[in-house]
Chain A
Amino acid sequence: MNSTNAASLEFRNRRSRALGVFAKNWALFFLLFLVGVFSFTGRGFFSVNNFQNIIHLSTIFLLLSAAETYVIITGGIDLSVGFVMGLSSVLSAKVMQVIHASGAPQPTSILIGSLVGIGIGLVPGIISGLLIARFKVPPFIATLGMWGITNGITLRICQGFPVSFLPSKLTEIGNGFLIYIWPGKSFSFFHKPFGVQNAQIRELVRIFPYSLVFSLIVLFLLWHVLKNTKFGQHTYAIGGSMDASVRAGIDARRHLLMVYTLSSFLAGLAGVFNVFQTGIGNFTPFNAMYELFAIAGVVIGGASLMGGKGSILGSCVGVVLIRLLENGLSISGVEPFFRFIAVGLILIMAVVIDQLFPELF
């Protein structure tokens, strides 16, 4: 082989490898591309405030997508996360409201309410998990059933109205930041610097909202478990081949039960987060389709609905991509319906790319 052939071969190899890297991380590149585009088309897009805003609103979706990531990797699906979130939101708010109204100090009511909300998140997951693992009900059906049941129960609890009259400290925590900087004057941790009037809050630069900090911790744990532990490895194995896993001695039934319980638990956590962020207990509106967007985030992030593929990091990118898209489009003055169309198109693109470069993942 003469040198020009070797050189061009090397070049082609490198080029296809580069193409591969690009394709594998297309969502990330696309995200950056969008950031660039929106910075031009939208005033105020490229600012710390706006980015924090995006992340703040993404918190819930990040948790829901992380939940779906595990489930989807096993080859299943969880359609109930949106309403489980609503259930825990409403229930924890109700508990907080009742305890607070009875005169107990705020921290107590908040704490107990949160624990109840997080705890109730486990229940639908255990039921779905049992149905799926033990009774071989297809995940689509089992979680669809829970979808309806949790929604009905939620509405029953709140009678169709959001739960309010909650302790005021709630939103302080939910919307608080780690660092407050008063440009040129002072900075402080955990609360706004002394001497700042309410009217002057706009001047503050606020960094690291609590919601982000908590989410990052949770996401980090989930990432670690999926990537570095037996549990994570078995999750991929079951998704790749249920048969192989069972014959290798993995207790697939118990594992599936745990995965669906985890998913539901995270949805419950998201519900409690929601209460902290908004200050009220909100049931999930019928048309919100949270679960579908969570699933979209996971798929855009590289997972396959057949199972065996996916990652927490990818799902996060997928979620942020969707949220960023929404934010950017609305700041740029684009009408809401385009947002739907855009998400739909991106989703299709994600899957098609996945098809074209299967060996990379």
Chain B
Amino acid sequence: MGYMLEVQHITKRFGGLVAVNDVSMGVNAGEVVGLLGDNGAGKSTLIKMVSGVYHADEGKIFFLDREIRISDPMDALGLGIETIYQDLALAENLNVYSNIFLGREKLRKVLGFIKVLDHDLMLSESRAILNRLEIEIPSLKNKISMLSGGQRQAVAISRSLYWNAKFLIMDEPTAALGITEQKKVLGLVRLLRDQGLGIIIISHQLHDIFSVSDRLVIMRRGVKVAERVTKDTNPNEIVSLIVGAETVRR
């Protein structure tokens, strides 16, 4: 089997602006790939095409060796591709387990035919997954607005895992977190990688990326300018690639 997720010659334009220009890359199962680049490099646009928010203008996407069409977020979710956005996309006014099941609520039947939300089931399932990931949140009935940044990140990750994510995309997962929480999140990422998920991480925190990723893909102005194996490179080289001191295509 080749890559778990692969994009070939993918391009996205917004009017006259080419946000993503003929980019090809792939991620293996059980691998973490860091997607790097300065602002406007096209990283977010690229992952949004994989998660279904945007449609690619040109190019193909392959998942598990099959070419796929992703026309909306539901398609991506259905395939097992889960995305955790920078702003986490959580509903502040709903509680923890409601967010984990957002859009895919569990129902039960009352009086034989009336379909009603199954709060108990959602609560216990959420508790189970949070325990598995060793995340501590005292009461799952609390609204999201009462949680810390790290806890919210954990909820977002749990949501993806509950739905048997095979592939995870994370956009700036550690940006708003304190040191301890950053370590916890990175630990989760390693745990998931060891379980066989393929993971793409976008981040500006080079030391986080270096500590957790296997390979690095660098983009600049919509184009992929380099790919490196993490242990074969160093932050200085990466920074100059991001900024453009050398444009070496490999």
Determine whether A and B are in direct contact in the complex, meaning some CB atoms lie less than 8 angstroms apart.
Answer: yes
The interface residues of chain A lying within 8 Å CB-to-CB of B117 are 228-230, 232-233
Q: Say whether A243 contacts B89, CB under 8 Å.
A: yes
Complex interface bits, A198-238 against B, C-beta within 8 A gives 1, otherwise 0:
00000000000000000000000000000011101110110
Q: Say whether B105 contacts A233, CB under 8 Å.
A: yes
Q: Interface stretch among B15-23, B61-69, B96-104, B131-139?
A: B96-104
Q: Say whether B92 contacts A241, CB under 8 Å.
A: yes
Is B186 interfacial (CB 8 A cutoff)? no
State which of A232, A236, A244 has its C-beta within 8 Å of the C-beta of B89. Answer: A244
Is B91 interfacial (CB 8 A cutoff)? yes
Is B194 interfacial (CB 8 A cutoff)? no
Interface residues in A231-290 by Cβ distance below 8 A to B read 232-234, 236-237, 239-241, 243-250
Complex interface bits, B101-116 against A, C-beta within 8 A gives 1, otherwise 0:
0111101000000011
Q: Say whether A249 contacts B90, CB under 8 Å.
A: no
Most chain B CB atoms below 10 A, which of A229, A246, A247, A308: A247
Minimum CB–CB distance for A223 against chain B, Å: 12
Is A56 interfacial (CB 8 A cutoff)? no
Is A335 interfacial (CB 8 A cutoff)? no
Q: Is the interface of A mostly helix, strand, loop or mixed?
A: helix
Q: Say whether B73 contacts A239, CB under 8 Å.
A: no
Q: Say whether A245 contacts B116, CB under 8 Å.
A: no
State which of B53, B93, B99, B103 has its C-beta within 8 Å of the C-beta of A250. Answer: B103
> In the complex, which residue of chain A has the Cβ closest to the Cβ of B105?
A230
In whole angstroms, how far apart are the Cα atoms of A211 and B53 in the complex?
48
Q: Say whether A230 contacts B107, CB under 8 Å.
A: yes
Chain A residues within 8 Å of chain B by Cβ, number? 23
Interface size range on B against A: 20 to 34
Given known A-B contacts A249-B104, A250-B102, A241 and B115 have beta carbons under 8 A apart: no
In whole angstroms, how far apart are the Cα atoms of A72 and B198 in the complex?
41
In whole angstroms, how far apart are the Cα atoms of A228 and B83 in the complex?
28
The interface residues of chain A lying within 8 Å CB-to-CB of B73 are 246-249
The interface residues of chain B lying within 8 Å CB-to-CB of A308 are 91-93
Q: Say whether B53 contacts A244, CB under 8 Å.
A: no
The interface residues of chain A lying within 8 Å CB-to-CB of B77 are 249
State which of A229, A240, A249, A359 has its C-beta within 8 Å of the C-beta of B91. Answer: A240
Minimum CB–CB distance for A24 against chain B, Å: 14
Q: Say whether B85 contacts A245, CB under 8 Å.
A: no
Most chain A CB atoms below 10 A, which of B73, B87, B93: B93
Is B140 interfacial (CB 8 A cutoff)? no
Given known A-B contacts A230-B107, A230-B117, A250-B103, A244 and B93 have beta carbons under 8 A apart: no
Is B128 interfacial (CB 8 A cutoff)? no
In whole angstroms, how far apart are the Cα atoms of A248 and B104 in the complex?
8
The interface residues of chain B lying within 8 Å CB-to-CB of A244 are 88-91, 99, 102
The interface residues of chain B lying within 8 Å CB-to-CB of A229 are 115-117
The interface residues of chain B lying within 8 Å CB-to-CB of A307 are 93
Interface residues in A337-361 by Cβ distance below 8 A to B read 359
Q: Say whether A236 contacts B93, CB under 8 Å.
A: yes
Is B123 interfacial (CB 8 A cutoff)? no
Q: Say whether B103 contacts A249, CB under 8 Å.
A: yes
In whole angstroms, how far apart are the Cα atoms of A233 and B93 in the complex?
11
Is B175 interfacial (CB 8 A cutoff)? no
The interface residues of chain A lying within 8 Å CB-to-CB of B93 are 236, 239-241, 307-309
In whole angstroms, how far apart are the Cα atoms of A249 and B78 in the complex?
10
> In the complex, which residue of chain B has the Cβ closest to the Cβ of A239?
B93
Given known A-B contacts A241-B89, A246-B73, A236 and B94 have beta carbons under 8 A apart: yes
Interface residues of chain B, those whose CB is within 8 Å of chain A, are: 53, 72-74, 77, 83, 85, 87-94, 98-99, 102-105, 107, 115-117, 145-146
7 pairs of residues in contact across A and B, judged by CB atoms under 8 Å: A233-B98, A236-B93, A240-B93, A247-B73, A248-B102, A248-B104, A249-B77
Known: A240-B92, A248-B102. 19 other contacts (CB 8 A): A230-B105, A232-B117, A233-B94, A234-B103, A236-B91, A239-B93, A240-B91, A241-B89, A241-B90, A241-B92, A244-B91, A244-B99, A247-B53, A248-B89, A249-B103, A249-B104, A308-B93, A309-B93, A359-B145
